[in-house]
Structure 1
Amino acid sequence: MAKPHRAIVNECCLVIRHLKLDNLDHEKAEAIGQAIDQITGIDMVSLNDDRSILNVAYDAGKVNIEDIEAVVREHGADIAQGWWTRFKESWYRFSDSNVRENKERTPWSCH
């Protein structure tokens, strides 16, 4: 049985992101997780301390990757600078933007 989404999350705009973090310890991970969980539009957040991976699901019509990254940096951690993480970050920005734009458009059909 699937876990129900939070009431504030529009399922059609739901995205799941995975980011590798640098300079992360257990205390920072706890603080980051709690702060991100308080953002309106967040559906789920978890951190893997051992691998320094942030997993977050959110409504991209309300939240974007920059909001998440800002919270990470506020708590003294940072996004890893490896090429794969930078590539994913760029793709996440692009797809978040597409979700927001498509959410505002009215669908049409010629049939």
Structure 2
Amino acid sequence: MAKPHRAIINECCFVTRHLKLDNLDHERTEVIGQAIDQITGVDMVSLNEDKSILNVAYDAGKVNIEDIEAVIRKHGADIAQGRWTRFKESWYRFSDDNIRENKERTPWSCH
């Protein structure tokens, strides 16, 4: 059985993201996780400190990857600069923007 989402999460806009971080230590892990969890629209956040991986699930109609990255940078960590991580990060930006734009539009078709 699936875990129920927080009441503020719109299922059609629900996304899960995984990013590798740089400059992450135990103190930053705790602070970043708590700060991201406080953002309205975030459903789940976890950080794998050993692998420096951030896992976050959120409503892309309310939150985007830039909001998450701002919190990460505010607390002294950063997104890894590897090719794969940069590719995923740009894809996440594109899909977050696409979800937000499609959520605001109403279907025009009559059938």
Question: What TM-score comes out, normalization by structure 1 length?
Answer: 0.97
For 2:5 and 2:66, the matched residues in 1 are separated by 22
Structure 2 residue 83 is the aligned partner of structure 1 residue 83:
yes
Q: Which residue of 2 aligns with 1:47?
A: 47
1:100 aligned partner: 100
Q: Which amino acid aligns with 2:22?
A: D
Q: CA RMSD in A?
A: 0.8
Residue number in structure 1 paired with 2:57: 57
Q: Which amino acid counterpart does residue 106 of structure 2 have in structure 1? A: T
Structure 2 residue runs of 5 or longer lacking an equivalent are: none
Residue 108 of structure 1: how far off its partner (Å): 3.8
Alignment-derived partner of residue 15 in structure 1: 15
C-alpha displacement at 1:107, in angstroms? 2.1
TM-score (norm 2): 0.97
CA distance in 2, matches of 1:4, 1:109: 33
The 2-side partners of 1:47 and 1:102 are apart by 30
